A and B are shown apart, each in its own frame.
Chain A
Amino acid sequence: MLKAIEKYQPVGADQIKVWYKAAALEKFPKNGGACIKYKEKQIAVFNFTRTGQWYACQNLCPHKMEMVLSRGMIGEENMIPKVACPLHKNTFSLQTGENLNGSLEAIATYPVKVENGYVYVGFAE
């Protein structure tokens, strides 16, 4: 069986095969995140209302393998948008997935677009 973490591979703009229509825009809290389900994956989607940007990443925190990142606080550090895991406040860049305050494995990030009031997340499969 695939280990939980191996399900999540970053998807670059050139690898998008599917734009998955996740949910209506108003389902996502302002300046916060929510979790969506796509096949066997849990994806955290973040609505940076202040900048008008959207980001998505795996919901799984690589530190203790818990499905919690969507419930974390978002913010920025030196202009890099980030999420802080609600369990131990490990922070990850939402652009590169890199762990900003430690040396944990990077998380997988996914492209997001908003069209006609709906939020779409890009997947390679």
Chain B
Amino acid sequence: MKTIIVVGNGMVGYKFCEKFVSKNESKNFKLQVFGEEPRAAYDRVHLSQFFEKRDAKALELAPLEWYQENDIHLIVNERVTDIHRDRKSITTSTDKEYHYDYLILATGSAPFVPPITGIEKKGVFVYRTIEDLEGMLAYADEIKKNKPNCRAAVLGGGLLGLEAGKAVMDMGLEPHVVEYAPKLMPRQLDSRSSNVLQLTLEEMGIKIHTGKATNQILGNGVITGMDFGEDDTLEVDMLVVSAGIRPRDELAKTCDLEMGVRGGIVVNKKMQTSDPYIYAIGEVALYNQMIYGLVAPGYEMAEVAVNQILENHQAAMQESIDMSTKLKLIGVDVASFGIPYMPANKGLSIIYENKTKGIYKRINVSHDGKTLLGGIMVGDAADYSILHQMYLNNMPLPDNAEELIVGARGEGGSAFGSAMDLPDTAVICSCEAVTKGAICCSVLEDGNETVKGVSKATKAGTGCGGCKPMLSDLVAESLKSIGKTVKQSICEHFNYSRQELYDIVKTRAVQDYDELLDTVGTGHGCEVCKPAVAAIFASIYNETANRQETIQDTNDRFLANIQRNGTYSVVPRVAGGEITPKQLMALGRIAQKYDLYTKITGGQRIDMFGAKLHELPLIWEDLIAEGFETGQAYGKSLRTVKSCVGSTWCRYGMDESVSFAIEIEHRYKGIRSPHKLKGGVSGCIRECAEARCKDFGFIAVEGGWNVYVAGNGGANPKHAELLAEKVDKQTAITYVDRFIMFYIKTAQPLQRTAAWLEKLEGGITYLKNVVINDSLGIANELDLEMQSYVDTYKCEWKEAVENPEIRSRYSHFVNSEDEDDTIEFVSLREQKMPKQWA
């Protein structure tokens, strides 16, 4: 049995292992992996997500068990220090020696730290590993204690530098990005697109300084600023260096492998170094005199090395490597492919620039107008995948090439046609090298009918995820070609999704359930579509559950929560959890009068259990007389907005959380939604109101409110995600207004906001674009609809007790005044509870 040693357990090193064990012939090899980081390989591309979740596990490419299951001997936290080519062995930092038959160098790269005076000062960091991030976080927490508005700069305005800018912003520091070149992302963007990107980023609060050469780092042992010469300085409390990468090629020096002049281990197209038993892959490999700092070429190199070792000799690296890339930078789409910019003698360009929307698109076309040479997209890269494919496959351009970026005029939409027009060999997922043919085959021949299933089977879309839109198009189109559709119809009576029904009711002004069933449904309805449609009517017309009572779900029909023995519980609204002693006594008196079991709820109000059906209007008459209104505890609607006591009493409070909670609870009360909604407002980051476990939450910070959305407790707890930072109260409300409206319009029935956001293509960044940047142009509509809800609120219990017809529904028998004599209670700690089920 032969031994392969892989040095480096980063993304490419991991990919080598994954590809290797997937081959049958790999059984004859022993695979041993060394990683110098304390943990197994993780997704470095999405490193900035670590700030949002602080969960290193979530970034993991495979759990430790995976290595065991596949007989891979992984040793982490141990650096390989020497290679002894003469005896085919390596030694590690603990002086152990291991023999190899083949050696794979996947040591990656290290951040390049330019030799600037003072760069060793405390407070200067690099951005590469989870440990780097943890160090930055700890330091940020430290400096924030002594100074309220700390600043952090990032040295380098490339791809990674901008990611780092977002990371320091997430840490609550004022972000600055300092770039030596006159533009951002100099490799991928031309100056005009860089300007558009800069404007967008500055709007988000990231300050950009281009054309700045840093002379020295200021400060006495600890960084206090950056000096750009000639009295030009920038005061900063922290610096993150992201000025490019240098290959980690020091091992090659220990054994005289051939190296490039500026570093990197020279490899041939088989990925072999100058020693045929040693391979180099990823960012350490110098192929065609280039280092490739992207993950897709690294994966391709891993594939080639695997095949070469398994004696599949025709596998080789292509002559030219596609460096096209598409990513979401801080929520902004940025993409470039082929030759992004060029002088006019090489090709002609078509440019669309719209600074009002932060959009820039450029395509470069050959002089004869027939071939696409490359392009750039900022702000909207929806068409990247198809343009990239046209470029890669040399597909003919349409006559009016400008339609590729400005859209076709007149009827019929797209200038590209469909993703199905691509050749079968077109690589759709470049991270995993999955072709269009393989994806369609997975649907048509292997019977995978969902994007998820195809992803699982082919691995397409599991890398950077950039190909997902195209992947889902291909799946949908393939299904369509065999007469199937991907449809989320709500039940057998309506062949529509909730969102489609919502639009139908709205645009055709459908008045009630029967009319909807008659016009677009079949049959006579069921317990699935009735409440779903009831919620749609409630959302569109803001009508109460009283109007169409028999299509309401159990609790809505009688405006109370049915409990174990068919009795109900009653919860009046106690906005923000604030209640006067007088109101408390009133609740006590009423509960005592009707002999109700009382309990404080998790949402800071009081629940009264054990009310019989006929007692409900009587209880509510008493409650309304005392000034209470319905708490909608029974509805798929706003429950409570939980609050901490806030700055009015609390010595730590930054703002008045109770006042805000009351205001917001009154704003959203009564609005029907796909599922229940809960809110929270905390007066400081101690977060006593647990606002981040709610569908929406506000937390007071220095200089404003942080807005979180789409969290929940329950069966699958999920923390809410940050929607906006340090905004004033009015802005915070506007954002949440839009978030709720957008959710109401597009979610599935009974889908909480967290599950909805998880399913939302583009996730939180897409949501931010819709809510904050109005990327869909619907913000005004959402605002107006929310305002009309707020303006038309009425207490449905008041309506019920005052209307004799509605009130008459509350009797157990229609032919007798008798009560239901089967209800039995037993005593419990001086109160009562239902008798156990028979």
By a beta-carbon cutoff of 8 Å, the part of chain A in contact with chain B is 3-4, 22-23, 27-32, 34-37, 42, 48, 50-51, 64-68, 71-79, 81-82, 84, 86-87, 89, 91
Contacts and interface: CB of A to CB of B under 8 A. Distances in A.
A65 B527 CA distance: 21
A73 B491 CA distance: 15
Given A35-B813, A71-B557, A86 B562 contact: yes
A93 to B, nearest CB: 13
A84 B837 contact: no
B814 A51 contact: no
Given A65-B838, A66-B566, A67-B566, A35 B527 contact: no
B554 interface: yes
Nearest to B818: A37
B355 interface: no
30 contacts: A4-B822, A23-B814, A27-B814, A31-B525, A31-B550, A32-B549, A35-B812, A35-B814, A36-B813, A36-B816, A37-B815, A42-B820, A51-B524, A64-B837, A65-B838, A67-B820, A71-B554, A71-B566, A72-B527, A73-B530, A73-B553, A73-B554, A75-B530, A76-B524, A76-B525, A76-B526, A77-B492, A79-B523, A87-B562, A91-B527
B466 interface: no
A42 B822 contact: yes
A73 B565 CA distance: 18
B531 to A, nearest CB: 7
A78 B493 CA distance: 10
Contacts of B141: none
Contacts of B202: none
Interface residues of B, number: 35
Interface of B: 492-493, 514, 517, 523-527, 529-531, 549-551, 553-554, 557-558, 562, 564-566, 809, 812-816, 818, 820, 822-823, 837-838
Contact of A67 (B493, B524, B822): B822
B554 A87 contact: yes
Contact of A50 (B524, B531, B812): B524
Contact of B837 (A65, A79, A82): A65
Given A50-B514, A71-B554, 13 more contacts: A3-B838, A4-B838, A23-B814, A35-B812, A37-B818, A65-B838, A67-B823, A71-B558, A71-B562, A73-B531, A75-B524, A82-B526, A89-B527
A36 B550 contact: no
Nearest to B838: A65
A3 B838 CA distance: 9
B812 to A, nearest CB: 6
Contact of B527 (A27, A32, A75, A78): A75
B504 to A, nearest CB: 19
Contacts of A35: 812-814
Chain A CB within 10 A, most for which of B554, B809, B838 = B554
B803 to A, nearest CB: 14
Given A22-B815, A86-B554, A29 B527 contact: no
Given A37-B818, A75-B526, A68 B562 contact: yes
Most buried by A among B517, B523, B531, B553: B523
Which of B812, B816, B823 counts the most chain A CB atoms within 10 A? B812
A71 B550 CA distance: 9
Nearest to B562: A86
Contacts of B813: 35-37, 42
A30 B814 contact: no
B562 A23 contact: no
B565 A66 contact: yes
Nearest to B492: A77
Nearest to A74: B550
Contacts of A77: 492, 526
Nearest to A38: B815
Given A42-B820, A77-B492, A32 B550 contact: yes
A30 B527 contact: no
Q: Which 6 A-B pairs have the closest CB atoms?
A: A32-B550, A75-B526, A84-B527, A86-B554, A27-B814, A73-B527
A64 B526 CA distance: 22
A23 B526 CA distance: 26
Contacts of A30: 550
Contacts of B524: 48, 50-51, 75-76, 81
Nearest to A22: B815
Contacts of A66: 564-566
Contacts of B565: 66
A66 B492 CA distance: 29
A64 B823 CA distance: 13
Nearest to B813: A37
Contact of A68 (B492, B529, B550, B566): B566
Contacts of B566: 66-68, 71, 87
Contacts of A36: 813-816
A122 to B, nearest CB: 15
A23 B822 contact: no
Nearest to A3: B838
Interface centre among A36, A86, A91 (most CB of B within 10 A): A86
A3 B492 CA distance: 38
Instruction: Name, among B517, B815, B820, the residue most crowded by chain A CB atoms within 10 Å (CB to CB).
Output: B815
Nearest to B550: A32
B554 A75 contact: no
A56 B820 CA distance: 18
